[in-house]
Amino acid sequence: MNNQDLEPSVEVAHLRRLLDVQPGCLMRLGADGTVLAANDATLALVGVTSRAQVLGKDSAAWILPDQRDQWRAFTTGVAQGDPASIECDITPPSGDPRPTLFHGVPIPDHPDGVASLAVLARAVSGQRQLEAAIDALEEQLHERDAARLEAGTRLAEAEAGRRHLAETVAALEARLRERKTGSSEDEQVRRLSVDLRARDEALAAADVARRTAEANRVRALADVQQLEVALEAFAAGQQPMTARRAAEQAELEEARGGRLRLEADLEQARKSLARLERREQDLRGQRDALQAQLDEALLACQERDLALNRLETAHRDLGVAHAAATADHDRLVRALREHAGHLQALASGLPRAGGGPGAAESCVAPRLSVEEQRS
């Protein structure tokens, strides 16, 4: 059996059940954010157990107060024909806010004629926590790299200063030896001695700086090693998070596939509704034709009743006329009989009163029958 063989009501009920059990959160909202429909996953996301708790309610009640203006702009814009996405925090009746990503597409041609939008929702709290942890570790790594570079720079500067001071001391010692062998001036020797002591102090300070830089470099290397250990531990701990992220990505892909299937189901539902509307129009046409036939039959029955009434009236009139004609016939027969009796009496010369009426009638009976046949 294919889809065309299914009853439209059965097919519509099946499509509605498919939408209800979709793994992705799917709902239909009005342009003002009113919830017109929601599947089971949406009820679980907002923390309710019955559709009666959400249908006809304002969806902005789920959103944090400081995000409701953005939410209303999102629903209005999508309902007007602009697909869009938005990330908001859902506040269920119990529990912490849940960061959620919403994708909305307009539904301009719904059979009920209400401007609305279909919204697909997906929680992003785990992904946000993973991204925050990665950002924190990257920031620590950058800080450690900067400290290591700074320690290396200081060490290089201290080493360069030490070499410069060593070169200066060697030069001063050479000059001092030259002064001692080539000249005996005490003033110059004292100046050179002072310079030598100053260089020695500078060299000692450079050595202290070098040792400090070396200690900083060692600490930086230790920090780098510690950071590498932490990164390895983080990489080991990130594998489950990566797996969860891959699972969330798979869920997202599945949700996208579900949305495509949903759009196909919605298109199939629209086609089914169109077929139902066409069938309803055909039924209305058949009903109108049957009503017209019934009206014609009723009119014919009324005309037949009028004709029957006229026939009954004519039949009564004919009965009355027949009764009147019968009465006239009887009077005429009596009159003819009396006239025949008179004639017979005159013909026989009998007195009119003689013999009685019975005798007259017996005498003229053959003639009366002839006269009656003539009349």
**Percent above pLDDT 70 for the chain:** 74
Query: Largest Cα–Cα distance of the chain, in whole Å?
Result: 230
CATH topology of domain 3-123: Beta-Lactamase (3.30.450)
Q: Distance (Å, rounded) from C-alpha 371 to C-alpha 375? A: 6
Q: Distance (Å, rounded) from C-alpha 42 to C-alpha 314? A: 81
Highest mean pLDDT range out of 44-48, 69-73, 91-95, 347-351? 69-73
Q: Can you give the pLDDT at residue 69?
A: 92
DSSP strand E in the chain: where? 25-30, 35-38, 84-90, 98-107, 116-123
Domain spans in the chain, listed from the N-terminal domain onward? 3-123, 131-244
- Give the bridge partners for 99, in sequence order: 89
Q: Can you give the pLDDT at residue 355?
A: 47
Task: Give phi and psi for 116, each to the nearest 5.
Answer: -150, 180
pLDDT beyond 80 at 361: no
What is the CATH number assigned to the segment(s) 131-244? Answer: 1.10.287
**Percent above pLDDT 90 for the chain:** 7
> What's CA 158's distance to the chain center, in Å?
70
Average pLDDT over residues 173-202: 68
pTM exceeds 0.85: no
pLDDT tens digits along 164-173: 877 877 777 7
Picking from 339, 374, 375, the residue whose alpha carbon sits closest to that of residue 360 is 339
pLDDT tens digits along 32-62: 899 998 888 888 888 888 888 889 999 888 8
Residue 340 contacts by C-beta under 8 Å, 6 or more apart in sequence? 364, 367, 368, 371
* Res. 6 pLDDT band, cuts 50 70 90: low
Tell me the average pLDDT of the chain. Answer: 76
Residue 81 contacts by C-beta under 8 Å, 6 or more apart in sequence? 106, 108
Average pLDDT over residues 149-164: 78
Least confident of 131-135, 315-319, 370-374: 370-374
Q: Which residue has the higher pLDDT, 116 or 273?
A: 116
pLDDT tens digits along 277-321: 888 888 888 888 888 888 888 888 888 888 888 888 888 888 899
Q: Distance (Å, rounded) from C-alpha 161 to C-alpha 154? A: 10
Q: Can you give the pLDDT at residue 205?
A: 78
Q: Distances from the Cα of 123 to the Cαs of 42, 99, 128, 150, in angstroms? A: 11, 6, 10, 43
Average pLDDT over residues 219-237: 70
